[in-house]
Amino acid sequence: MSFTSRLALTLVAALAAAAVVAPIAGAIVAMLGYRIPFPRIFDRTAMATVLVALIWSGGRLRFIPLLAKGFSNPGLNWTRAIKGLVVSIAIIVILGATAVLLGGTANSLGAAAARVPKYLLSAIVIAIIEEAFFRAFLLEGMRPDFRERGALVISAV
Highest-scoring range by mean pLDDT, 24-28, 74-78, 95-99: 24-28
Q: In whole angstroms, give the CA distance from residue 32 to residue 42.
A: 17
CB 144 within 8 A of CB 6: no
Tell me the C-alpha distance between 118 and 106, whole Å: 20
pTM: 0.68
Contact yes or no for 52/10 (Cβ under 8 A): no
Q: What is the mean pLDDT of the chain?
A: 87
Q: Which band of pLDDT confidence, cut at 50, 70 and 90, is reported for residue 23?
A: very high
Q: Is the pLDDT of residue 69 over 70?
A: yes
Going by C-alpha positions, the residue among 148, 144, 125, 156 that lies closest to residue 62 is 144
Closest CA to 83 of 73, 95, 94, 91: 91
- Rounded (10°) angle between helices 116-130 and 106-114: 60
Query: Which has the minimum average pLDDT: 36-40, 52-56, 79-83, 108-112?
Result: 108-112
Nearest to 108 by CA among 123, 118, 119, 97: 97
Q: Is 34 left (phi over 0), alpha (psi -120 to 50) or beta?
A: beta
Which whole number is the average pLDDT over 89-103? 84
At 116 the pLDDT is 78
Q: What is the per-residue pLDDT for 29? A: 93
Contacts (Cβ under 8 Å, ≥6 apart) of 19: none
Whether 132 and 138 have beta carbons less than 8 Å apart is answered as no
> Could you tell me how many residues make up the chain?
157
**pLDDT, position 36:** 92
Count the alpha carbons within 13 Å of 47 in the hemisphere toward its beta carbon.
8
Q: What is the pLDDT of residues 35-58, one digit of tens each?
A: 999 999 999 999 999 888 988 887
